Structure 1
Amino acid sequence: MLKIYKSMESGPLVELTLKTLEKGAWINIIDPTPYELKVVSNLTEVDPDFLRSALDDEERSHTDVEDDSVMVLTNVPVCRDRDSYDALPLAIIVTEEYIITVCLEETPVMMEFNERTAKLFRTYKKTRFLFQILYKSATYFLRYLRQISKTSDEIEDQLRHDMKNSEILRLLTLQKGLTYFNAAIRSNGAVLDKLTRMRNNQSLQPILKTYEEDEDLLEDVIIENKQAREMVEMYSKILARLADTFSSIISNNQNLVMKFLAAMTIIIAIPTVVSSFFGMNVPVPFAENPFGFAYIMVIAFAISVTSAYVLWRRDMF
């Protein structure tokens, strides 16, 4: 899918086509076909490798400079379902005339830039638009991290009352999402550090024109990313310890059950042993006594009660 937008001076966002492409436009490419990549590459004179860089879902964040374009590959967060989180590569390519974004799928970060929010950004202010995308990505990381924290608290409350495999698996899914977030946020931090150095590069000034407002916005992005990194590290440790704690509780409960079953096996085995002795085909006590069966039952019961008392004193129940 290929969409082209351009901000008007008066505020609204208008949609263009490849035939009406103008300077200062934003070309948004979602899960592109080879034909779309080829057309955009020819029209904008952007290296095709830049356009294809975000199509590998394992690509790490980095920046590249080629001729008259700068490519910033960042990872943006996505929420798959209730507990599943992931990070997808998003390529932001800035040229002297256009800004191009490429991603494998529609993400909440890019959906924030639409006709309804058109007054908050300008496609022709390419550097500021780039920083706004990075800032929005950092805020979504923080939003999803708060959701993960809230979900983990709910799972903890449920596990305190009832140990279910489904809740343990939910914790595992959250830990998996935090692992993806941790790797993405760290690599995004390296990209931000490089952008900080690149803004002073005179050869890139025609492409990455920065003003005082842009400098402040970049600082905000760096701060938000650092906060997200601290939060993901903290939540990762909390979830890891939570999983270890409940794993220990499950093992302890299993040991208690096994101990109880072992004690019950000992108690039940005693009447069996006594009855086996008196069931031999040899002369035994009480063989001729009419109350012999009752005596044997009393003996077996007394030994069982005594054994149960000894086991109880040894905390086997």
Structure 2
Amino acid sequence: MIECYKTATAGSIERIEAPESGCWVNAIAPTPEERAWLEEELGVLPEFVRSALDDEETSRIDYDEDVNQTFVIVDYPVAPGEEGAPDARQYDTMPLSMVFIPEKSLFVTLGLYDNPITRDMAAGRVRGVDTRFRTRFLLQILLRISQLYLVYLRRIDRLSSATEEKLHASVRNEELIQMLDLEKSLVYFSTSLKSDEVTLNKIMHGRIIPLYEDDQDLLEDVLVEIHQAIEMCNIYSNTLSGTMDAFASIISNNLNIVMKVLSVITIVMAIPNIVFGFYGMNVGLPFEGVPLLDNWAFPTLLAAVACLIAAWIFKRKGMWH
């Protein structure tokens, strides 16, 4: 799908039928025919198109002197259930690419899936957007991505706290698996955020993309948001990792307690079996032949065993000193 947008005189974003100078071309999961149109009609370099549609491509910035095109690729966060999310339980990141074509005054975005960043831009939910100012438009996209990271990180923190509360009540596999998924999500976020930070630092130098004074201020805002997201990601990751280790220790301790109780029950149940097993042997029994106790041998032995077991239990409970 390829759509073209341009900022109208009133400042709103309007969709146009064909690309023209100062417009924004948004390509989402382009077909082979659409890829050929991007390369032949707009002049986007084929290697830029291939890199943009590679889901394993890392964040970077590239410049081709021969055609005077700048290529920027960054990772944006994806929530479970959104288009492009590989797992229904985990947060992940996907690449979003942008190409500067100064010859035709065009700004092109390419992505594998529909995403909330370009949707918000096209719907006019971001203020101050002007497709004619390509550098500022790029920075506004980056700011939107960094803000989306912060939103999802806070959501992960709330999910982690809710899951931890459930674990306090009952340690089940479902909650532990959810905690593990959140921990993996934070690893994905941390890796992508650090790559995006490197790309932003390269943009900040101004050697590849020229920056004006307003652009410099906006870029600093983006960097602040990215640094905040990285710091939050590290804090949540450390907290979640510590929580997982704590619950692993609790589970191990609970298992030890259960095994201890089962061992005690086994030993206690074995004592009567040993004593009463003598009655199946051709051996003399305690109190046998004693006139007063001959008929009371079995109850006496039973009472003696019960007293021994009770004394042992009382001693284990600390009731006797």
TM-score (norm 1): 0.91
> Out of 192, 202, 218, which is 2:200 matched to?
192
Pairing 1:154–2:152 present: no
Structure-2 change in CA distance of 1:118 and 1:170 (3 Å): closer
Amino acid at match of 1:86: D
Q: How many Å apart are 1:79 and its aligned residue?
A: 0.4
Equivalence for 2:134: 126
Assess if the C-alpha contact under 8 Å between 2:19 and 2:25 holds in 1: no
Query: Offset at 1:257?
Result: 1.0
Q: In the alignment, which residue of structure 2 is the partner of 1:71? A: 71
Farther off after superposition, 166-175 or 280-289: 280-289
Give the superposition deviation at 1:83.
5.2
CA distance in structure 1 between the aligned counterparts of 2:211 and 2:108, rounded to whole angstroms: 18
Q: Assess if the C-alpha contact under 8 Å between 1:13 and 1:118 holds in 2.
A: no
Give me the whole-angstrom Cα distance separating, in 1, the residues matched to 2:127 and 2:144.
15
- Residue of structure 2 in register with 1:292 after alignment: 297
Note the residue ranges of structure 2 that are not aligned, 5 or more in a row: 82-87
The CA deviation at 1:8 is: 1.4
SS at match of 1:233: helix
Q: Which structure 2 residues correspond to residues 250-289 of structure 1 after superposition, within 5 A?
A: 250-287=251-288, 289=294
Q: Which residue of 1 aligns with 2:97?
A: 91
Identity percentage over the alignment?
35
Residues in 2 aligned to 1:238 and 1:41: alpha-carbon distance in whole angstroms: 47
C-alpha distance in structure 2 between counterparts of 1:117 and 1:269, whole Å: 75
Task: State the alpha-carbon separation in 1 of the partners of residues 126 and 225 from structure 2.
Answer: 23
Instruction: Please state how far the C-alpha of 1:275 moved relative to its aligned partner.
Output: 0.7
Q: How many residues are aligned here?
A: 305
Query: Residue 172 of structure 2 aligns with which residue?
Result: 164
Picking from 120, 143, 149, the partner of 1:141 is 149
CA distance in structure 2 between the partners assigned to 1:9 and 1:125 by the alignment? 14
* 8 Å contact from structure 1 (residues 55, 104) kept in 2: yes
Q: Which amino acid aligns with 1:42?
A: E
Q: Which moved more, 1:227-236 or 1:300-309?
A: 300-309
Pair 1:4–1:253, CA change in 2 (3 A): same
CA separation in 1, counterparts of 2:123 and 2:160? Answer: 36
**Unaligned residue ranges in structure 1 (runs of 5+):** none
Kindly tell me: are residues 162 and 192 of structure 1, through their superposed partners in 2, closer, same or farther at Cα, counting changes over 3 Å? same
Moved over 6 A (4+): none
Letter in 2 for 1:249: I
RMSD: 1.8
Alignment TM-score, normalising by the size of structure 2:
0.90
